[in-house]
Structure 1
Amino acid sequence: MSETDVIERLGAFSERELWTAKGFCRIERALDVVGTRSAMLVVRELFYGGTRFDELARRTNLSEAVVASRLKQLHADGIVERRPYQEEGQRTRDEYVLTDRGRGLFPIVVALIQWGEGLKDDHRTGVELVHRDCDAPLSAQVRCEKGHEVPLDQAAVRLKDEKYVTALRSRARKPR
């Protein structure tokens, strides 16, 4: 592996042996919310238009207990909201829809599908996300906020607030 195969570390973060990401890593926090296979399968079905509990359980092939647990977690984390509905002659139930935060997972879903295309299985049986207007397949791309496409060999990582995090680390190392 060459240095261009990893993200370059900048500033105080370049002294990697001094830092642990535990507790402040955004990847870690994101995986706390949607990092299970079952959570992502429920999210997938919500993106595909599923809203009702029984439909989500059937289409994910997960147990009702697992789907209930994932929906409870996704609701608590602001990924889905519950909306009551009632069919004639039935009790009121909840349907589930993605919130703005949940819809923010769309680029991740696109990236997972794109990455999955590289796996060695039959792609003819899968789904393909396309642009409705021109029918071209969707792809996930990494861009900076100025619009530049950024390949791995041009990416860097740094502490967001180096002064603050360095002070936290110093306090944590001082004996009490």
Structure 2
Amino acid sequence: MTCTLSETLAVVGERWALLIVREVALGLRRFDELRAATGAPRGVLSDRLQRLIAAGVLATRDYRVPGSRARQEYVLTEAGLDLLPVLAAFSDWGEKHLVDGGVPEVVYRHTGCGGRVTARLVCECGGDADVHERVIAQVNR
């Protein structure tokens, strides 16, 4: 059996990985932009970007500034886009348990109406799953 949580953490559980995903989702695409936004050291950022590319979370595409050599920018793949609910969930948790009335740095919003996006557990039947009453973890070993 495969422990999907363990494998997921091996991809995005390292320091900086989810911050990089967040910044790319916010529209930053270039190495120096990501470095400035995250504060990650150059070597660490390079390593995390390569790991996220190898895991299929990010992809690269070429761009060229006129008069300059071709460079690469980073974009989210479908797997990277699928991490956005995880980022929203982490943000919700941090706002609830860590921030004392402060304003969160990033708020996730629906582009259609501008409303705030939050994460929630939904059962395959379509109903909301209340973690205090109806959610259990099942081990398939």
TM-score of the superposed pair, with normalisation by structure 2: 0.90
Change (3 A) 1:112 1:125: closer
C-alpha distance in structure 2 between counterparts of 1:120 and 1:98, whole Å: 28
Q: Contact between 2:62 and 2:71, CA under 8 Å: does it hold in 1? A: yes
Amino acid at match of 2:107: E
Q: Which has the larger radius of gyration?
A: 1
Deviation at 1:159, TM superposition (A): 4.0
1:40 to 18, 24, 36: 18
- Structure 2 runs not aligned, ≥5 long: none
One of 107, 113, 138 as aligned partner of 1:158: 138
Matched, 1:138 2:117: yes
2:105 aligned to 126, 143, 150, which one?
126
Contact kept? 2:16, 2:48, Cα under 8 Å:
yes
Match of 1:112 in 2: 90
Q: 1:133: Cα distance to partner?
A: 3.1
Identify the range of structure 1 (148-157 vs 100-109) with the bigger mean alpha-carbon deviation: 148-157
Alignment map for 1:1-176 (pairs within 5 Å)? 24-118=2-96, 119-124=98-103, 126-152=105-131, 153-160=133-140, 165=141
Select the structure with the greater relative contact order (CA < 8 A; seq sep ≥ 6): 1
Q: TM-score, normalised by structure 1?
A: 0.73
Query: Percent same amino acid among aligned pairs?
Result: 36
In the alignment, the residues of structure 2 paired with residue 120 and residue 99 of structure 1 have an alpha-carbon distance, to the nearest angstrom, of 31
- Structure-2 change in CA distance of 1:31 and 1:125 (3 Å): closer
Coordinate RMSD, CA, aligned:
1.6
- Higher mean alpha-carbon deviation, 124-133 vs 142-151, is at 124-133
